[in-house]
Structure 1
């Protein structure tokens, strides 16, 4: 006489669960938390037993409330809810969709192997019920796994796209701001465009054109691989940045002196990226330094490195601020006029040029941002 599958499963519940755990442990790349081992396959096994028991009663169709109907299709059941959660749990572990299928296949294989070992034949209808439960569980687990994975991929792509757009907008605003200041200075002072102010205006208009062209070609995502590195005078580089930055310190009422830089020093890198990085740090200093204080700007050699220091008088950083200030869209101060990308852009640009960007907190005074770049000999 054929054994009742629900009795067989109930009597051998622990053995089947153990065999599934062993199969999971032996599978390459698969890991499981204690919660999963307790609530995943064992829960499905319990639902399968209850389904088989109900199908032996006078109302066998009530078993669909537990395990769902045959033939697939969306239907709410206990199996669908727990299987969906199982699929999500596997995604959280960083596993692939085939691992979802294998988890339920492990139980089917364990039941079949143990039935053969114990010489326990089952009725055809019971095997059909087993297959229906497995099909529904796998379908719901895979569906939820795929949905959650697609949502996360979409969120990641949207964040990356939003970050790229934020970088572009931030740089565009900085360049346009310098152009506006240079134009206003030239107009107010009736200055010739052939002078220093005209040169700042020309260079920043050219930088605007290049930034827009680069964004249209989406070069920014592969900039690190395509960057052209040149050696150039550190003094000329710093003086050019100072001339442009000095235009925007006026409204803050602070002091900003031209730094004295050794004319024999040189750095190597992508000049435009490095200039934008330093400009972002200076804009950050002007934004947060207290009125009628000094923004200190200097560049010097230290062994085989070139160090560029920008010191402000913002009053110092709060606890934990320094660790997060280079994160995208991070804004720690009360002034939220920007979008929180200036420091992120600066750090990424400097890193792409083989340098580092660090910050030192001076309690009750301010902070010092230090750019460290490889030192090169100046060649004619």
Structure 2
């Protein structure tokens, strides 16, 4: 009888399973993986097989559950398998290893029975498969439940951090703007003085922070793109208007090249405005006082290139890819959330473009947006 065979060779079967576990490469497995898995499952299997030899074989379902799948029924085996699945998830094992644990035992039983020529009848083998099926189903279900719970908790934590950063930065800019306004009112100061410049800077920073956050929300939510064919010259002209004030606040100059009126972009205008705007804000942030930031847009073959060039300290070695990660700031100026470049790359790539960056000599760097080239029809939207 199979239950007698399992009882007699219980220790050897567990050892065989431990050997299989030890051979797994990733994650590094230990005998602890079996604590609430194979030994308990083996005991419940033996108990089930033994009860099926009694006058009330269906009582075994209370131990190992019914067959046929569907909604899992309460059973001793199911409860222990669920516990095992949750344990493996918390220890960092994969869902594949949850399945392997039970597959190891089935293979060990089959191998040992074959080696010592132990017969296993059809009904006993069906019971073994039913127990394995129920145990795997309950273990995987609990594993996925615990994993989803952990992932949801991490997402909430990440969202709280992001909201906290946003609120902190917005409060700082609003506080500075409020103090500047009070100072101007108390001292009857004009808008063109130093205090007015502080107010300008704070308002520009708040606008930038809100624009970036809205774009990030839109990209994260996966909202559909709003494709349209629009003039490159008009696009650059709009950027020039909004960036000129920030250039003045940052005490540098913005130089914008002439753009061929026939060139066009087919994409989501708002996302691309955000992408180039973030690059310009980044350039104003790091370029040296009194220097120039260049905005150039031109065609090269079947591509349209938009360059944003600054006169800062350039890119530190090894920071090129790191700087595109969210909440990453590579320069000495740590103001802002560190989201601008990440949002720019995602916005550009969503429009079938490429964002790259390179150092230039003797100082500074150039960010380039590379997009498919399109042409306007005669008289349509040209500048």
Output the TM-score relative to the length of structure 2: 0.59
8 A contact 1:163–1:328 mirrored in 2: no
Alignment of 1:153-172 (within 5 A): 153-155=151-153, 157-158=155-156
Q: Deviation digits for residues 53-77 of structure 1, max 9, x if unmatched?
A: xxxxxxxxxxxxxxxxx958999xx
Query: How big is the shift at 1:359?
Result: 0.6
Alignment partner of 2:281 out of 280, 283, 296: 283
Change (3 A) 1:265 1:166: farther
Q: Deviation digits for residues 316-355 of structure 1, max 9, x if unmatched?
A: 1112211121111211122222111111221122122221
**Bigger mean CA deviation after superposition, 330-339 or 112-121:** 112-121
8 A contact 1:357–1:372 mirrored in 2: yes
8 A contact 1:259–1:298 mirrored in 2: yes
Query: How big is the shift at 1:266?
Result: 2.2
CA distance in 2, matches of 1:360, 1:222: 29
The residue number in structure 2 matching 1:93 is: 94
Query: How big is the shift at 1:378?
Result: 2.0
CA distance in 2, matches of 1:326, 1:279: 15
The residue number in structure 2 matching 1:235 is: 233
Alignment of 1:268-307 (within 5 A): 268-307=266-305
Query: How big is the shift at 1:302?
Result: 0.8
Change (3 A) 1:49 1:231: closer
The residue number in structure 2 matching 1:326 is: 324
Query: How big is the shift at 1:286?
Result: 0.5
The residue number in structure 2 matching 1:358 is: 356
Q: Deviation digits for residues 243-292 of structure 1, max 9, x if unmatched?
A: 21010112322222232222232222222221121111101111111111
Change (3 A) 1:120 1:87: farther
Query: How big is the shift at 1:103?
Result: 3.1
8 A contact 2:359–2:365 mirrored in 1: yes
Alignment partner of 2:143 out of 142, 145, 153: 145
CA distance in 2, matches of 1:166, 1:307: 36
CA distance in 2, matches of 1:262, 1:163: 44
Change (3 A) 1:228 1:106: same
The residue number in structure 2 matching 1:124 is: none
Query: How big is the shift at 1:81?
Result: 9.1
Alignment of 1:1-380 (within 5 A): 7-10=8-11, 33=26, 35-36=28-29, 40=33, 85-88=87-90, 92-93=93-94, 95=96, 100=98, 103-104=101-102, 107=105, 110-111=108-109, 114=112, 118-119=117-118, 145-146=143-144, 148-155=146-153, 157-158=155-156, 188=191, 221-223=221-223, 225-232=224-231, 234-362=232-360, 365-379=363-377, 380=379
CA distance in 1, matches of 2:42, 2:334: 60
CA distance in 2, matches of 1:268, 1:294: 30
Q: Tell me the SS of whatever aligns to 2:326.
A: coil
CA distance in 1, matches of 2:219, 2:14: 59
Change (3 A) 1:370 1:9: same
Q: Deviation digits for residues 179-228 of structure 1, max 9, x if unmatched?
A: xxxxxxxx958xxxxxxxxxxxxxxx9xx99x98x97xx797243x3423
Structure 1: stretches of 5+ with no match in the other structure = 26-30, 52-69, 122-129, 177-186, 190-204
Output the TM-score relative to the length of structure 1: 0.60
Q: Tell me the SS of whatever aligns to 2:341.
A: helix
8 A contact 1:294–1:312 mirrored in 2: yes
8 A contact 2:233–2:263 mirrored in 1: yes
